[in-house]
Amino acid sequence: MPARRYPPDEVIPVREFEKSGPRAQGAPVVWAGREDGPALVVVDPAGTARHHELPPTWDQLADHFQVAWCRIPASKRTIEDVEDVFETLADRRASVNLVASGDACESALALAREYRDLVTSVLLVDPPGADPQPEPDIEVRVVARSEPGPGDRVEPPLPLGHPTVVSGLVHALASMA
């Protein structure tokens, strides 16, 4: 299935995810890492950072980036929470690498188009369907995919804290530098 294309002036809302269970617990946005420099904005449909901290596998990334982990949804203001993150990063004049997985991939691509003046790359984990189409002036890469088979213990999409995801992010970010 080809990636859905939007006109540049069309604003696409962040997909609404289930508002109960682990996704509803904890802070809507977890900030970690540096206070300046390039940023990683994570759109997490699994709500991993519900304990106000990043997964430990992200420590090496937080040493080099501002990290804003947006848990979707964690509040009734999901769209506004993500917009607040981008406004904060615009004020800091930060370049943004957007990270998303599974069902949040399409929303991340829409956010990248909306904030194209900030976003330099979109790094995806287990996007549904075919690989996304390239975006003008924005690098779009799939950094990790689940490997179905007898040894696969994690259903797609891989959690964003999974070591395979972190390794894919590190490799992609290093090759873009």
Give the closest residue to 17 by CA, choosing from 102, 112, 121, 128. 102
pLDDT at 49 exceeding the cut of 60: no
Between CA 134 and CA 71 the distance in angstroms is 25
Residues in the chain: 177
Strand-pairing partners, residue 67, are: 32, 40
* Contact between 142 and 134 (Cβ < 8 Å): no
The whole-number pLDDT of residue 51 equals 61
Question: Quick check: helix, strand or coil at residue 92?
Answer: coil
Residue burial 41-57, b: 16+ Cβ < 10 Å; e: rest: bbbbbbbbbbeeebbeb
- Quick: pLDDT tens for 123-143: 999 999 888 988 999 999 999
- Quick: pLDDT tens for 28-48: 899 999 999 999 999 998 766
pTM: predicted TM-score of the whole model, two decimal places? 0.82
Between CA 51 and CA 54 the distance in angstroms is 8
Average pLDDT, the chain: 83
The whole-number pLDDT of residue 17 equals 39
* Contact between 85 and 61 (Cβ < 8 Å): no
* Contact between 23 and 75 (Cβ < 8 Å): no
Residue bearing tokens 């982990």: 69
Query: For domain 21-176, is the CATH number 1.10.10?
Result: no
Give the closest residue to 1 by CA, choosing from 133, 147, 123. 133
Instruction: Tell how far CA 43 is from the center of its chain.
Output: 4
The arithmetic mean of pLDDT across residues 2-20, rounded, is: 40
**Per-residue tokens: 80:** 């506004």
The arithmetic mean of pLDDT across residues 82-97, rounded, is: 96
